[in-house]
Amino acid sequence: MGPLIPNGFIPEEWNSIVAILIGLAFGFILEASGFSSSRKLAGVFYGYDFVVLKVFFTAAVIAVIGILYLDYLGFIDFNKLYIHPTYIWGAIIGGVIMGIGFVAGGFCPGTSVCAAAIGKIDAMVYIVGILIGVFIFSELFTLFEPIYDGYFLGNLTLMDSLGVSPYWFVFVFTIIALIAFFVVDLIRKRVKKVFY
């Protein structure tokens, strides 16, 4: 649980309980933000609803600022955080497949579970599709493995790629988020005039 267990704020035995509580809170926030609605999620792609984009940007900005503050206060070591390895071909092909699935079904894997939890049948069908896809991928993994492991770039971050400090990156990212909020409001107002 982040810096809480190593720094002795909570005992290690509570790790799973805290994880479950965080998961429940996360699911509640997803549902309260409208992420269980495929119409709201697909609205980003069609230009009539940008709540999802705003929630994601807000969450990302708060998370990176929080991590930098925790690093500054000495609760975590920013340089020791796990960075998921970058495999270019797997990322590109997986991104395309997920993007098509997102637009076609109106859900991503996390939001489909959130919607299924409140009884949405389309989300349940979407989850069945995910499980079928996982089964096919696992059964044919030896066939996909060269693509899956192809073009490995290491544990790369956007800050490393751009060669900027984390603090400047977070500052610029926050400015981009604010500009995005302004631009999507203009788009939404224009689309609303056309369709309503």
pLDDT tens, 93-120? 989 988 888 888 888 888 888 889 889 9
Q: What is the average per-residue pLDDT within 148-162?
A: 84
Average pLDDT, the chain: 85
Say what the pLDDT of residue 178 is.
Answer: 92
The rounded distance, in Å, linking the Cα atoms of 120 and 126 is: 10
Of the two residues 58 and 52, the one the predictor is more confident about is 58
Task: Supply 185's token pair.
Answer: 């409001």
Q: At what angle do helices 121-139 and 141-148 cross, to 10 degrees?
A: 90
Say what the pLDDT of residue 76 is.
Answer: 82
**32: confidence class by pLDDT, cuts 50, 70, 90:** confident
The rounded distance, in Å, linking the Cα atoms of 163 and 156 is: 11
Per the document, the length of the chain is 196
Of the two residues 65 and 158, the one the predictor is more confident about is 65
Task: Supply 36's token pair.
Answer: 């269980």
**62: confidence class by pLDDT, cuts 50, 70, 90:** very high
Number of Cβ within 10 Å of residue 1's Cβ equals: 16
Q: Bridge partners of 87? A: 152
53 CB contacts (<8 Å, ≥6 apart)? Answer: 44, 180, 184
